[in-house]
Every structure is written in C-alpha cells, then in structure tokens.
Structure 1
C-alpha cells in the first residue's frame, strides 16, 4: 500500500464523521435503528430537549442496539468500511468526497449554531 496523502486522509476523516452521524443520528436512517432502539425526546427542567435512547430486546438485538446508539462504536466501523473501500475500490473516491464535503459543512454549521 502506498502512502496516503494528507488531502485523502482529511477526506477520509470527514467522510467517516459524516457516515457515522448519518447512521447514529439522522432521521433518514431511523429505519435501520428502529428494530434495535427507541428514540424519544424529552425536555429537561431548563426546557432543553434531551435525546433519550432506549435499547430494545436482548442478545444479538440488544448488541446491535448498543452498537447503533454509540457514535464511538459506529465511528470505528464506518472508518474501517470507508478505508477498505478507498483501498480496494479507488473509483469510490467521489463517494468519500461527497461525504467529506457534507461532513465539513455539518461541522461548520454545528459550530455556528452551538459555538
């Protein structure tokens, strides 16, 4: 394997960030999480809405629920997937780039709103 450029490394980091967020938090992928976790939103005493994650079932189903509700865990697997894709299918780089641009814009937007 040849050395990876800094540009490609940063693209992979941002792509992994975005894919992880897509899997763990985004509404569009809730259909993947629904068999394993129940997400509710409840206000706390100050009125701030808190995301509550309740893991459903036992055994393999519970394990999947724990995995899909953990951004650290999904981050490892999404990074592994994207790096393997990058190495074995170089033509997949446009997908990495799209996820990276979306990840960078999400990061910037979150900093603007939540400082």
Structure 2
C-alpha cells in the first residue's frame, strides 16, 4: 500500500485523536487511574487542586510515565495506527476514519471557539 499525502493526513488526525483520548479525555480516565496516585493540595485561595503523579514502581510506573506524556503516548498511538493500517487495512480503515473525523472536528471546534469566544 502506497503512502499518499491524504493517507498521511488521515493517519495523523487519527493518531492525534487517539492520543488525546488516552491522555486527556474524561471518558478514558478509568484506563489511566491504575497508573497514577492522586494528590490533593489546597492553594493560597483555599481551592483544592488535584495532581496526578505516576506510580512509583514497576510496570505501573512505566505506563503512568507514558500516559503523562502526550508526546510519548503519541509515538505509540501512531505506531499502532500505522501498523493496523498496513497489517489489517479492511478492519482498521473504519476505526481510523472515525478517529480522523473526530480529530478534525476537535481542531475545527478549537478554531470556532477561538474566533467566537474571543
């Protein structure tokens, strides 16, 4: 299968969306929870701030460090998406397209929010 600019664009959007889904979105918090310790601190204004620190040891630390780094997780999601695209194109294409459309929609939403809310 030949890599075209269009394929690269779609794969990039899908990787972007999957990375954000794993690292930031509330819906996948249950995936991240076993790998982090939650620390609560009260700031100067009396508000409670919550910090998530990777676990201290072992495999949980590895995945905690990975999930706390957008760039690190992005490498692995890109590898997964490209691998699936080449190994199982018929099965992977619908999933990749859904992620790509969601990624593009997120970018469009940021642009709209920037211009309408500003």
Which residue of structure 1 lines up, in the alignment, with residue 103 of structure 2?
103
For structure 2, list consecutive stretches of 5 or more residues without a partner in the other structure: none
> What SS does the corresponding residue of 2:34 show, helix, strand or coil?
coil
Instruction: Give the corresponding residue for 1:32.
Output: 31
Larger-gyration structure (1/2)? 2
TM-score normalised according to structure 1 size = 0.82
Number of aligned pairs? 111
TM-aligned CA deviation for residue 61 of structure 1? 1.5
CA shift, 1:108, in A, is 1.5
After TM superposition, give the deviation of residue 10 of structure 1 in Å.
Answer: 0.5
Q: CA RMSD in A?
A: 2.6
TM-score (norm 2): 0.80
Greater mean alpha carbon deviation, residues 90-99 or residues 52-61: 52-61
Determine which structure has the larger helix proportion and give its number: 2
Q: Distance in 1 between matches of 2:13 and 2:68?
A: 20
* 1:107 to partner: Cα distance: 1.3
